[in-house]
Structure 1
């Protein structure tokens, strides 16, 4: 788990559909910024949110990527599988990890961990 996640005390959420807010959020003093694919994104915009975050991540320097998590959609939604595929690509590019909402089963966390990779942090919301 990255030290940026291990020692974090403050978190700032930003809708992933508004990636232009990420640099300002990262400069805000919050320990971590969480790009939201879940509640802050309308169902019709889920795919656009994934693409927007991928594009924004590519423009960020590595130290800022290490302070960025993404809150994925829960396993019970139709977006979970696509979120895991996108998560795998983003963590390979330096995203710190994922916030997992409604994490009620160990199998869910195992699936997210497998997609995210061994260096990624998981922040389960129970």
Structure 2
């Protein structure tokens, strides 16, 4: 190895390391999609809960989501009434355990809300009703 290229190599490694070290700090500043973000719920909703135990499908206006539960929530498939509640209030759904899906028999904590496109929503909804 040429001794003149060693300082250049060390400088390149230092720049690369500082870039890598800076990335997690920047990523921590911005909330990750689906972990802290909240969604305002409108009156135009569709909830697909057939065969629900780990998640339900939610259409809110033109937006589509898979709402994942923290643990099994089989009661969501059979409950007469379902309501999303965040901090005791209806009309909003958040990830990271802030919200729950209230059923006739209790509630199921929401782990995360995953945005999906309309085609995926339709495909998943068809699969559940078979």
The TM-score normalised by the length of structure 1 is 0.23
Structure whose residues are more often strand by fraction: 2
The TM-score normalised by the length of structure 2 is 0.23
Larger radius of gyration: 2
Structure whose residues are more often helix by fraction: 1
